[in-house]
Amino acid sequence: MANVAALLVPSAGGRPPPTAAVEPAGSPPTALTPHQRLSFVACRADAREHELATQRGIAQRLATLMGCDFTEGDVAPDASYLPGALGYVVPNETITSLEAARRLGIRGEEDLFGGVVPAPFVASKIITHGLIRPDAAAPEGWSKCFGERVRDSVLPGYSVFSLDDAREAGARLLADGPVRLKLACGIGGSGQSVARDAAALQAQLEALPVDQVERHGLVLERNLADGVKTWSIGLLRLGTLVASYFGTQRNTLSRHGQEVYGGSTLTVVRGGFERLEQLALDSGDPEASRAVALARTYHQAACDCFEGFLASRANYDVVQGRDAAGRECAGVLEQSWRIGGASGAEVAALQALREDPRRETARASTVEAHGDLGPLPEGAVLYYRGVDEHVGPLTKYALLHTDES
């Protein structure tokens, strides 16, 4: 494994390696990548068709933006390929081993839109909190360093890998109010519940699949009850083009009346986290500045604490709100080092920055609309419109905003 790790160029805290030339503002557009081909890699076997259609569409637009040929058909993640055969890689899941990255020809951030981690658990929300005690159950490769580095950048909470540890962690947290339980393998809010007292905690723990808790882990953290706002903070590297963003998520109602993800609106700036922090400061919004600072701490800790980690697409969900006692709380909830729900907006903004080298910022949105939807706004890029067997009628599109919209 050490030889494989040597093949990967780790992220430098959100900055490209010193040898990489970042495309400066005001310069004529140059080739973003030496890769001649871009390949979409379907890593998630359980991805739904609307997800795959959207991800393929984003990969195709990335190929056009980078001047690459697009490989028709999905690439299998577990096959062996000749060196360089896939070119630039767009996986629909974080690559969860250094060996898998090597097989796909990924040697650094310049070779993919996404991320690479040394073990599967690193790609999940389970890393966000530390253990209940130093000798608690944890997977091989667990980083004590990471938990210590992000402790003040996340909500109060614990990560556990046994129900006994979960009971102890839950009891501690209940002393300060309701506790949210989140299975590490849950996606999009699934596998979550809130316990408001010891009886509810016990009942919810007993209902959990023991094998999933022991294999993937369970997060217990303080529940926010009022004024909740979720920020999307991101860092992007597309070849020589580096950008970062802050924005907010919004929810919508599914056909079953449940709140689900409805899209994001992002303000994207040319450059890394330093430029983003200045943009947030200039916006006059202290909440935006705080969210960017929390995400930057989390990102840098991942770079420093997980050997072989790299991410050319990094997105962090940062929540702000009040708990049941009215206390103001803020923290990173989880990370996404793969193509995601906000990627349509990311690509729209990157394209705007690419087409106008003098442009410093761009604002773009993604929309996921449930139910029947009329005509799309002018300039919208449609990624999916159809009827999903699980969620019903669904439309997904991205839109680059003008200064007036």
- pLDDT value at residue 93: 95
> Strands 392-400 and 259-270, how do they pair?
unpaired
Where exactly does CATH 3.30.1490.20 map onto the chain?
A: 122-222
pLDDT digits (tens, 9 = 90+) for 244-260: 999 999 888 888 888 88
Q: What are phi and psi of 108, to 5 degrees?
A: -170, 180
Nearest-angstrom CA–CA distance, 354 and 375: 28
Measured between alpha carbons, how far is 118 from 123 in angstroms, rounded to an integer?
9
Architecture of domain 122-222: 2-Layer Sandwich (3.30)
> Tens digit of pLDDT for each residue in 163-191?
999 999 999 999 999 999 999 986 655 57
227-400 placed in CATH 3.10.450: no
Contact 233, 315 (CB under 8 A): yes
- Interval 206-248: pLDDT, tens: 999 999 999 999 999 999 999 999 999 999 999 999 999 999 9
Distance CA 85, CA 80 (A): 10
Compute φ and ψ for 354, nearest 5 degrees: -70, -40
Count of C-beta atoms within a 10 Å radius of residue 119: 18
Q: What amino acid is encoded at 107 in this protein?
A: R
What was the pLDDT predicted at 185? Answer: 81
Residue span(s) of the chain under CATH 3.40.50 come to 2-11+32-120
Q: Give the mean model confidence (pLDDT) for residues 371-380.
A: 92
Q: Which candidate, 310, 369, 338, places its Cα nearest to that of 110?
A: 310
Tokens 């970062």 -> residue: 244
What residue spans in the chain does CATH classification 3.30.470 cover? 227-400
Give me the mean pLDDT over the 95-102 stretch.
Answer: 95
3-state secondary structure the chain: CHHHHHHCCCCECCECCCCCCCCCCCCCCCCCCCCCEEEEECCCCCCCHHHHHHHHHHHHHHHHHHCCEECCCCECCCCCCCCCCCCEEEECCCECCHHHHHHCCCCCHHHECCEECCCHHHHCHHHHCCCCCCCCCCCCCCCHHHHHHHHHHCCCEEEECCHHHHHHHHHHHHCCCCEEEEECCCCCCCCEEEECCHHHHHHHHHCCCHHHHHHHCEEEEECEEEEEEEEEEEEEEECCEEEEEEEEEEEEECCCCCEEEEEEEEEEEECCHHHHHHHHHHCCCHHHHHHHHHHHHHHHHHHHHCCCCEECEEEEEEEEEEECCCCEEEEEEEEECCCCCCHHHHHHHHHHHHHCCCCCEEEEEEEEEECCCCCCCCCCEEEEEEEECCCEEEEEEEEECCCCC
pTM of the model: 0.90
Which pLDDT does position 357 carry in this prediction?
93
**C-beta separation of 178 from 224 below 8 A:** no
Over residues 263-288, mean pLDDT: 96
Residues 6 or more apart in contact with residue 47 via CB below 8 angstroms: 55, 92
Would you say how long the chain is, in residues? 405
Query: Residue 24: which pLDDT band, with cuts at 50, 70 and 90?
Result: low
Residue 379 pLDDT more than 90?
A: yes
Distances (CA, A) of 14 to 11, 139, 340, 364: 6, 27, 18, 21
First to last CA, the chain: 50
Domain 2-11+32-120 has CATH 1.10.3470: no
Does residue 270 contact residue 25 with C-beta atoms inside 8 Å? Answer: yes
DSSP lists the bridge partners of residue 330 as 320
pLDDT bin (cut points 50, 70, 90) of residue 77 is: confident
Q: What percent of the chain has pLDDT over 90?
A: 79
